[in-house]
Structure 1
Amino acid sequence: MVDSTARDMWERFEPVHDLVYFAPEALRAAEGLGMRGYWMGYFALRAAPLGPVGPSVVTSAFSVFHPSRVARALPDAWKYAAPAEVLAARREAMDAAMTRLFGAEAARSAEFAEAADLAWEAAASADTTGRVLAAANQALERPGRATARLWQAVTTLREHRGDGHVAVLVSLGIGPVEAMVLKAAAGESDGAFLRETRKWEPADWAAAEAALRERGFLAADGSLTRAGAEGRALVERRTDEAAARPWRGLGAERTARLARLLEPLTRAVGESGLLPPGNPVGLSPRTSAER
């Protein structure tokens, strides 16, 4: 039987991490820094742990964005705010967003602090070899406030999983657009939403579909073939395996405890309506308000 711990934990902490993209406090923080538009703020807030890097590094690390999407934001973002300023602003924004969304009393509770400490321990045990985004986030100073500490910990864990996912795709010869086509064909995300927000042209999407049909992964109607479904399952299985070490380090009992502590937070994000339709990260319905 495949151990589902890594995937189950990801589905609990991913919505909490995603507040940095969709919470109004994060958007206001980016505006306050002088960022020009949503995407400059997105790339600055996410890439800041890497330092004042240029578009080629971020295009490589983030994987799924067209280079022109990144180049419109970086390195110009660093003219408005240095990475250290961006990191401070995102920490304050996440503290404010989590306090508002989860409630001040909950954010100051012993249970919240326990969740933050457990998540921090798991993130600290993550192997960041070959995982640039995870390593950069893991190296950041431990925040004193439980809200900021929890958010930073789950962000390290999220980037750790994402770095591993990209490595799996590369090892299997699946390119960025092909990966998104497979995700959409599997019914996990909306293809048009992925293509448009990642700034790929229809021709790029069509070329990826053609490559997947040639590989036997995609049927003429755009659905997954049996080989495609198996290939997609292999990607997810290997991603889960690559993301398992933090949970082995934390141990089954404390991992289960963290899962219980994260459950109401995940539900609150799902019920908030902040996460956009189109499900860009492919979360299962149980992480929505129905959970």
Structure 2
Amino acid sequence: MSHPEPVARRMYDLIEPIGLVPYLAEGSDDDLMALGLRNPWDAYFAGRAAPLGRSVPAEVVHAIFYSFAPGEVARHIPRVWDLTTPEAALAARERGCVAAMRRILGDLADGPAIARAADLLLRAATSAPVEGRPLYAALRALPVPQEPIARLWHAATLLREHRGDGHTVALVAEGVGGTEAHVLHALSVDMPAHKFGRVHHLPAAQLNAVIDGMRTRGLVGADGWLTPAGRATKERVEALTDRLAEAPYNALSPAELDHLTTDLAPVSATLQATYPW
């Protein structure tokens, strides 16, 4: 069904803290690292790229992930598959994320709200078309965990990657490249690009070249901050991302969405309170 008002942004705020467990929850990548991986970025790429399989080359992973600077993916893919397998990485990622959620949520992890939310969220997460969404499609092909808290994390991951695939479409439509997307976001929240976590490590000349290109296109001003055109571009990207993320929630009735919101709120708030932001 189609809801009278958009719900994707509201659901994003509730689901994103669950989807961020692999990247922000303490200890969530311990099981991945135990497979013999060399560093946390190995764990990131092994865990997130595993649904694509070991034969997908770095160039394809780079295209799907979109937001990494040239060469960054190739430092880890396919090398991580010399150390472990996609199957082992998937299992380790799930174990680590579920353990981290249990530790953070405490008694809430086994409460009835988790099972209710997992069932509703999974129905939404498995209902959307897969066309044009490669990472979401790869995740849809995986078995669904049976444990409620694992099922909740899996559903949130599906929805996060569904939204992410759509976000890439929105960026491409606006002509915003992967590294430019990070600059656009940083400047939109009044943070200098060179301090933003996803690009601060880049050589100054490389990052400055990206910013200069955005300045030439009128997105960044002479003062180094977004122009009105730059802010309008960011707003259009976010608006299209939200519109493209609506489809999964059409599988739920307004009443089911209200129940889901109620059940997810304490879970998301508890997780978010532990993250370093």
TM-score normalized with structure 2 length: 0.92
**Structure 2 gaps, min length 5:** none
Give secondary structure in 1 for the equivalent of 2:129: coil
Percent identity, aligned pairs only, is 39
Letter in 1 for 2:136: A
Match of 1:276 in 2: 276
Match of 1:26 among 25, 28, 47: 28
Deviating 4+ runs (over 6 angstroms): none
Quote the Cα distance in structure 2 between the aligned partners of 1:181 and 1:63.
Answer: 14
Match of 1:16 in 2: 18
Match of 2:110 among 108, 111, 117: 108
Maintained 8 Å contact 1:168/1:235 = yes
Q: CA deviation at 1:183?
A: 0.7
Quote the Cα distance in structure 1 between the aligned partners of 2:40 and 2:226.
Answer: 33
Partner deviation per Cα, 1:107-148 (whole Å, 9 max, x = no partner):
222211000011100101122211111111122111110111
Maintained 8 Å contact 2:32/2:96 = no
- Count of aligned residue pairs for this structure pair: 273
Maintained 8 Å contact 2:182/2:198 = no
Partner deviation per Cα, 1:167-213 (whole Å, 9 max, x = no partner):
11112211112211111111176633446557533223222222222
When structure 1 is superposed on structure 2, of 247-256 and 182-191 the one drifting more is: 182-191
TM-score normalized with structure 1 length: 0.88
Q: Which structure's relative contact order is higher, taking Cα pairs within 8 Å and 6+ residues apart?
A: 2
Report 1:137-286 matches (<5 A): 137-187=139-189, 191-194=193-196, 199-272=201-274, 275-277=275-277
Q: CA deviation at 1:62?
A: 1.0
The 1:139/1:190 distance shift into structure 2, 3 A limit, reads: farther
The 1:4/1:218 distance shift into structure 2, 3 A limit, reads: farther
Maintained 8 Å contact 2:28/2:93 = yes
Maintained 8 Å contact 2:67/2:178 = yes
Q: CA deviation at 1:95?
A: 1.7
Match of 2:67 in 1: 64
Q: CA deviation at 1:67?
A: 3.2
Quote the Cα distance in structure 2 between the aligned partners of 1:126 and 1:40.
Answer: 30
Maintained 8 Å contact 1:120/1:153 = yes
Give secondary structure in 2 for the equivalent of 1:67: coil
Letter in 2 for 1:118: L
CA-based RMSD: 1.9
Q: CA deviation at 1:22?
A: 2.7
Quote the Cα distance in structure 2 between the aligned partners of 1:97 and 1:252.
Answer: 31
